[in-house]
Amino acid sequence: MLSFKLGKTHVPHRKNTAGMQAVRMSAPNSVLIPMSQHIGAPAVVTVKPGDKVYVGTLIGEAQGYVSSPVHSSVSGVVKKIERFLQSSGRKCDAVLIESDGEMTIDPAIAPPKVTNFDEFSAAVRASGLVGLGGAGFPTAVKLDAEKKGVVRKIIINGAECEPYITSDTRTMLDDTDYIVKGIALLENYLSAEEIVFGIEKNKKECIEKLREVFSTDSKVRVDVMPDTYPQGAEKILIYNTTGLVVPEGALPADVGCVVMNVTSLAFLAKYMETGVPLVEKCLTVDGSAIKNPMNVIAPIGTSVEEIISFTGGYSEEAGKVLYGGPMMGVSMYSTSDPIFKNTNAIVAMNKRDAAPKMQRACIHCGRCVSACPMGLNPTLFAKSMKVEDSAERLDRLTEAKINLCIECGCCSFVCPSSRPLVETNRLAKADVRNLSAKK
């Protein structure tokens, strides 16, 4: 047994919607579906204005190995192809589809025929599945570690450590049968010795239910993790469930692990049963500006504005609206923007909660160092970024292990001086990439 657990920041849970089953939206008037919804190369548009599409029709073909296909989430007509500005500042193609309100499934869709790992991997790739916990890494690429014979453990992420978000909780409670079927698929087509669920201890009902359904499966165990942040971070999850350390610059497969989100697992089982690709997402809508917090199942590409309206709108004026939770979420420019494959929450904060805190000078209290789950020193990164000589700055940041930063936000959360530490860390990581490329 491990003598300690990584990830120890106490953030407010605010799991207001944990007991609420997800409610399915009716068809939106239109959807805007970007071709970049995953880590890697954007998909290439395969439709043109005027084309008739159905739910599940391929509208974007994967471009390259680390990429994922994109499918229509509604039935209707393609209105136009436009350029979409992402939160990263980059632009990608997006397909605007006017819905006919029918949500007709593409008649060509059928369950995939799978008898071996290669067919299983091809089916996962065709499904358009990417990590649904937030990162958006194409799942088929993760599973291809099986071809190298290195997969010893599969870790199912059910931690859901961000405040407010409960969409994975609802998957564990409402789609338990599909989770069981998903585990059977992994056991059939991957050679892992063990499958481990990592779930925070505040989700007692989920823990009890999964332990019950897997009580006779000696290959599966359910680990109870501390309900402190950030238990769901990949490297933290691996360490706290297996004791294995993923080195700097390495991937989970390098230590014999594959990590999969619990909702990704349930979707995989549904896809093998129906053949319907990833076209909808269960997400939590909550925050101090939301009138009726709830879990919603919405077509991918639906505007955030329409989803919030479906829940009953705002209780007061929003000061900030986030994709995701308040720790690692991304503030959106406009609520007319769509949800993505990996959108697990919309959190709208009122003006009081969204107001920026006054930044003050660092008092060298060391709280950021104590809070960092990776054992890093954020103040050292900030000092290094002030070094003018680029070679020396690169050396200092590299020596301080900036690339181990997982951008969880713990340092900023505990800082009494409200320093923008996680933002500085992101800039430092980008600086290291650019300087290393030049070097």
Question: Domain map of the chain by residue range?
Answer: 117-274, 367-438
- The span from the CA of 36 to the CA of 39, in Å, is 8
User: What pLDDT shows up at residue 438?
Assistant: 87
Find the mean pLDDT for residues 103-127. 97
**Model confidence band, residue 326 (pLDDT cutoffs 50, 70, 90):** very high
pLDDT recorded at residue 268: 97
**What is the average per-residue pLDDT within 390-413?**
96
- Amino acid identity for residue 125 in this structure: R
What's the pLDDT band for 8 if we cut at 50, 70, 90?
confident
Confidence of residue 5 (pLDDT cuts 50, 70, 90): low
Q: For position 75, what pLDDT does the model report?
A: 98
Q: pTM of the entire structure?
A: 0.94
Q: What is the mean pLDDT of residues 120-135?
A: 91
In the structure, what pLDDT confidence band is assigned to residue 245 with cuts at 50, 70 and 90? very high
- Residues 281, 28: contact at Cβ < 8 Å? no
Average pLDDT over residues 361-369: 95
- % of the chain surpassing 90 pLDDT: 93
| 3-class SS of residue 186 | helix
8 A C-beta contact, residue 371 and residue 8: yes
How far apart, in whole angstroms, are the C-alpha atoms of residue 282 and residue 266?
Answer: 12
Tokens read off for 34? 């970007």
CA–CA gap between residue 388 and residue 126 (Å, rounded): 48
Which pLDDT score, from 0 to 100, does residue 136 have?
84
Q: What is the mean pLDDT of residues 50-54?
A: 98
- CATH of the domain spanning 117-274, picked from 3.40.50.150, 3.40.50.11540, 3.30.1330.10, 3.40.50.920: 3.40.50.11540
Give yes or no for a contact between 301 and 53, defined as CB atoms under 8 angstroms apart. no
